């Protein structure tokens, strides 16, 4: 595993560093560039940087070659305030030149979450024409160590046969659909975006300790891919220099 950890001064610097690295990778890619997006405030800031017509990144990215997926989604309609798809649409996808066929969302509005997971898995297999290897996966980190919707104590954490699974998250009182650990670990590049002092303990466990189900983010260590952690100073406060 090729791993790099960068601690930036603040969340704005974190987003800028991630935007630069993403633009560089997309610019250098050959053929389709398949991306799994993440929800949250830090990705929203990143998306705004990428979409900014006056910024340094938008013109460098070959938007017509990108294919967009999501690492996880809440089981809500696409126009719901909690929808990761809606956040990405508002902050990025509606502001850059991408066609509807380049966007592959989770159908969170389906009444059956397992059916939504199955349909998303089928879509992934169709687009990749077989088992997926994402070119880039964005992930976040919760104070409890969860990433995507792999929450401690849920069956999703230990799921290894499915590409996508539905999960009930008791602490959030919500049902979600998430990519599984094997898919995340098969990516060419996984990029964690982590900001805030409330994430410092989870970041230390995920980065510095042995992988454990109790901290699902620690299990994301692509054996033949690249793993990069972008943290602000608060999130990286407990890491040893």
- CA 4 to each of CA 14, 112, 138, 191: distance values in angstroms, whole numbers, following the listed order: 14, 39, 15, 10
Q: Is the pLDDT of residue 116 over 90?
A: yes
CA atoms within a 13 Å half-sphere pointing along the CA-CB vector of 91: 20
Kindly list the structural domains of the chain, giving each domain's residue range(s) and its CATH number in brackets, ordered by start: 2-232 (3.40.50.1360)
pLDDT of 240: 87
Sheet bearing 174-179, strands edge to edge:
72-74, 174-179, 164-169
Q: How far is CA 232 from the centre of its chain?
A: 17
Q: Which ranges of 81-217 does DSSP label H, i.e. alpha helix?
A: 84-91, 113-128, 181-185, 200-208
Return the closest-CA partner of residue 196 out of 39, 70, 14: 14
| CB-based contact 117:164 (threshold 8 Å) | yes
Return the closest-CA partner of residue 72 out of 175, 153, 173: 175
Q: Is the pLDDT of residue 241 over 90?
A: no
Radius of gyration of the chain (CA): 17
Q: How far apart, in whole angstroms, are the C-alpha atoms of residue 202 and residue 219?
A: 12
pLDDT tens-digit series, residues 19-65: 999 999 999 999 999 999 999 889 999 999 999 999 999 999 999 99
Q: What is the mean pLDDT of residues 211-238?
A: 98
Phi-psi region of 40 (alpha: psi -120 to 50; beta: other; left: phi over 0): left
Q: Is the pLDDT of residue 1 over 80?
A: no
Cα–Cα–Cα angle for 43, 49, 54, rounded to 5 degrees: 165
């Amino acid at each position: 595993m090729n791993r790099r950890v960068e601690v930036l001064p603040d969340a704005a610097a974190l987003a800028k560093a991630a935007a630069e690295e993403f633009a560089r990778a997309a610019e250098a890619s050959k053929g389709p560039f398949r991306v799994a997006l993440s929800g949250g405030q830090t990705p929203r800031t990143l998306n705004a940087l990428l979409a900014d017509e006056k910024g340094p990144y938008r013109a460098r990215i070959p938007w017509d070659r990108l294919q967009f997926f999501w690492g996880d989604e809440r089981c809500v309609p696409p126009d719901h305030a909690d929808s990761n798809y809606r956040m990405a649409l508002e902050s990025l996808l509606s502001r850059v030149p991408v066609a509807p066929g380049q966007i592959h969302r989770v159908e969170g509005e389906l009444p059956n979450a397992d059916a939504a997971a199955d349909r998303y898995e089928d879509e992934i297999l169709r687009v990749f024409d077989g088992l997926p290897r994402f070119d880039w996966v964005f992930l976040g980190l919760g104070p409890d160590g969860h990433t995507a919707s792999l929450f401690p104590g849920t069956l999703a954490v230990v799921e290894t046969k499915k590409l996508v699974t539905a999960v009930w998250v008791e602490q959030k009182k919500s049902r979600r659909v998430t990519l599984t650990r094997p898919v995340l670990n098969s990516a060419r590049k996984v990029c964690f975006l982590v900001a805030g002092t409330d994430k410092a303990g989870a970041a230390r466990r995920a980065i510095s300790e042995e992988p454990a189900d109790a901290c699902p983010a620690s299990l994301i260590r692509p054996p033949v891919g690249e793993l990069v952690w972008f943290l602000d100073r608060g999130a990286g406060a407990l890491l040893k220099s």
